[in-house]
Structure 1
Amino acid sequence: MQYRTPLLTLSLLIAWQNPVFAAPGNTCTGQALSKTFASGASWNLCWEPRQAEGIVLSQVTYKAPNHAARRVLGEAALSQVETALDDGSVAPLFLTTEAGFGGNNLQTLNAAACTNGTLHATSGRNVLCDTTRNHGYSYKYTTQRQGQLWELSSHSQIGSRNYAVRWRFYENGTIEPSLGLSGELPVVDASATQYGWPAMQSGKIATGFTDHALWRLDFDLDTTHANDVVEEIISTPSADRLRKTKTITRLNTETGRNFDPETKRFWRIRDGILTNGSVGQISYELIPNRYDHSRANSSNTPWLANDVFFTRYNACEKHAANNPTSNCTANVSQFVNAESLNQQDIVVWYKQSYHHLPRSEDSNRIGTVWSSFQLLPRDWHSTNPF
């Protein structure tokens, strides 16, 4: 770490090949996996490793106690991670498609990496850890209830960095995808103080960097994958800040949208037909996180210009950037081409940006930094099922 080195060596790069894309519907690709909690709530899904994305989940269904199981996601994965150094000395790299979170970069896990959990293998290697954890109160009022979550995690080593991809499936139906960064500082410079931090006892400067991660979430609510709707929900404060006015707008065509710290803005994907048996239409809402990094756009590129994109399913639209272009376009900003979102198969592309300005504590190992967001059931049931 005493010399300036590239973030990735050429030996870590892979020759890109067009991947085989799964069609929408009820097809389970890979291995089936399930978790049933003591309450009777359960999750069922399939998983498989891919060269670019690493672990990909499909046919994710949730069942609350004494209720029928319903599908939430047809497919879900980390679509792309771009990393860019603050000093601009190395061109931004697409870690997913240029290096790959799968293949040899997908780490073999041992028991120490999966404490109190179960390891799952593919091609003779344990690559997925399955654990169950307590998460605290599900609710507390005149009565109380402690809840649990089911966690699936994998690790990918790319150059000097280690990325943990973690999915948490809560007993109450919440889904929390997370990306964890650790490893070694990739670049050290002796003079570029304006681009980094003196992280070494010798006074060496560790250069800052930004990671942009985009998740691809193919929503296929319940039994029919092509009848979903996207709604934007905003609570706007009055001038005196004493009231908030709610507005709900259906997004009828493909679009990119941004967070707004001044208003409460979020989105939900709802089934175009099915209700919860009462007044609500079943849906999942997107709970944003890390507003402080939401407008980051290292290279001033269109695919980073929005915090979330909504598109209609297209089999070749797999990677938010550096997407294979033989039958498709290059990035998510081009996927947005005015196709209808009304009663369609909806794909959500959620961006997480994180700027890391090193500190002395990172000099030998970067303390793991987690970036996460949540998908929360809204009107999935007519009452709290617990």
Structure 2
Amino acid sequence: MQYRTSLLALSLLTLWQAPALAAPGNTCTGQALSKTFASGASWNLCWTARQAEGIVLSQVTYKAPNNAARRVLGEAALSQLETALDDGSVTPLFLTTEAGFGGNNLQTLTTQDCAGGTLHADSGRNVLCETTRSHGYSYKYTTQRQGQLLELASHSQIGSRNYSVRWRFYENGTIEPSVGLSGELPIVDASAAQYGWPAMASGKIATGFTDHALWRLDFDLDTSNANDVVEEITSTPSTDRLKKTKAVTTLSTETGRSFDPETKRFWRIRDGILSNGSVGQLSYELVPNHYDQSRANSSNAGWLAQDVFFTRYNACEKYATNNPTSNCGSNTSQFTNGENINQQDVVVWYKQSYHHLPRSEDSNRISTVWSSFQLLPRDWHSTNPF
């Protein structure tokens, strides 16, 4: 198969020594980048390019107008990506066995790739595009306000696939990581219609596939990295479904959890000490997308068995699976080994799964498919700061 052959050809690569993760603290890894909006809201962060993950962000700090600047993330990056074809075959892991999103796979950008924006270089190559965009209404009621966002984007070419990794930092404090897929369709013989969709004028079948992406988010809220608290929040309907009862449970030990539409289950990571000056405690909420495909696990693998994993920071836990360090677990299901995470440095491993059944319009260039989620401020302020 053309698609699989082009990917497997890349498996003949030179192995590298994976770099250590940034230690907890206030260390800026790489180059500093900042954006201040006209409102006075601002984002400050550092970025670097690594062989496996591509662009990695660290010390991500947000400041609302007339409020103090507070750190949100100590480090954040795409941690693993795998494609499983509907015919049962699975590609090599893109971040660790396909030479990564960085290195030569990280594309050199031109002004055409970054229209209206600013290019940033690593090792003499422009690899990151920074743009400022309007995102529509921040709110609209008796008054209204249009908001802006800072967007950082990079592109990695691996075999016949192109992945765009995009981070959006909204003026209101929301963070939206996303990964976009384009490239060529995976083509098999026309006899394999049960695995795909007729998408070529020749009658050839484009195989359906599922992308599994897993992000690593090291929360270090405000000044301390060692007092995070994870809370699971549910709204359970009554028997007659006319009421929903809220429950908040603190997750005390490392665990993997899955979304539940019936109970509207979600999670927030809050600071163990600080409040917003009113009744709320500073926190960020995990807001999923593609909720309908959250349980996908094509290869029945441990690292795909849950939608989100919560672990205590460990320097050797670098990648969601195929983790190369001998004195650490090999994947997130092994990272969750019962350590205490209450009032500790918490790392969130969030899984996105997206099944794509090709269509004729994807021939022979896949129309970009985006998968995203949001990190939303919850009680970060006592009132709307805008």
Band the TM-score falls in, shorter-chain normalisation: over 0.9
Q: Counterparts of 2:18 and 2:133 in 1: how far apart (Å)?
A: 38
For 2:308, the equivalent position in structure 1 comes to 308
Q: Counterparts of 1:191 and 1:351 in 2: how far apart (Å)?
A: 33
Shift of 1:26: 0.3
Shift of 1:4: 6.4
The one-letter code of the counterpart of 1:98 is: T
Q: Secondary structure at the match of 2:97?
A: helix
Report 1:97-136 matches (<5 A). Answer: 97-99=96-98, 100-136=100-136
The one-letter code of the counterpart of 1:348 is: V
Cα shift readout 1:195-216 (whole Å, capped 9, x = no counterpart):
1111111111111111100000
For 1:64, the equivalent position in structure 2 comes to 64
For 2:267, the equivalent position in structure 1 comes to 267
Residue 8 (str. 1) matches residue 30 (str. 2): no
For 2:153, the equivalent position in structure 1 comes to 153
Q: Structure 1-normalised TM-score?
A: 0.97
Asked if structure 2 preserves the Cα contact closer than 8 Å seen for 1:7 and 1:187, the reply is: no
Asked if structure 2 preserves the Cα contact closer than 8 Å seen for 1:161 and 1:186, the reply is: no
Q: Counterparts of 1:364 and 1:278 in 2: how far apart (Å)?
A: 55
Residue 294 (str. 1) matches residue 290 (str. 2): no
Residue 20 (str. 1) matches residue 20 (str. 2): yes
Residue 214 (str. 1) matches residue 176 (str. 2): no
Q: Secondary structure at the match of 1:309?
A: strand
The one-letter code of the counterpart of 1:125 is: R
Asked if structure 2 preserves the Cα contact closer than 8 Å seen for 1:84 and 1:93, the reply is: no
For 1:94, the equivalent position in structure 2 comes to 93
The one-letter code of the counterpart of 1:377 is: P
The one-letter code of the counterpart of 1:119 is: L
CA 1:144 to 1:160, structure 2 compared with 1: closer, same or farther past 3 Å?
A: same
CA 1:319 to 1:5, structure 2 compared with 1: closer, same or farther past 3 Å?
A: closer
For 1:234, the equivalent position in structure 2 comes to 234
**Once superposed, what is the RMSD of the aligned Cα atoms?**
1.2
CA 1:6 to 1:66, structure 2 compared with 1: closer, same or farther past 3 Å?
A: same
The one-letter code of the counterpart of 2:359 is: R
Q: Secondary structure at the match of 1:192?
A: helix
Q: Counterparts of 1:47 and 1:325 in 2: how far apart (Å)?
A: 24
For 1:200, the equivalent position in structure 2 comes to 200
Cα shift readout 1:27-77 (whole Å, capped 9, x = no counterpart):
001000000000000000000000000000000000000111000000000
For 1:249, the equivalent position in structure 2 comes to 249
The one-letter code of the counterpart of 1:346 is: V
Asked if structure 2 preserves the Cα contact closer than 8 Å seen for 1:16 and 1:98, the reply is: no
For 1:48, the equivalent position in structure 2 comes to 48
Q: Counterparts of 1:118 and 1:61 in 2: how far apart (Å)?
A: 20
CA 1:3 to 1:226, structure 2 compared with 1: closer, same or farther past 3 Å?
A: closer
Shift of 1:264: 1.2
Count of residue pairs the alignment pairs up: 384
Shift of 1:325: 2.9
Asked if structure 1 preserves the Cα contact closer than 8 Å seen for 2:133 and 2:149, the reply is: yes
Structure 1: gaps of 5 or more residues: none
CA 1:4 to 1:320, structure 2 compared with 1: closer, same or farther past 3 Å?
A: closer
Report 1:76-95 matches (<5 A). Answer: 76-88=76-88, 90-95=89-94
Residue 377 (str. 1) matches residue 340 (str. 2): no
Identity over aligned pairs, percent:
81
For 1:140, the equivalent position in structure 2 comes to 140
Asked if structure 1 preserves the Cα contact closer than 8 Å seen for 2:226 and 2:345, the reply is: yes
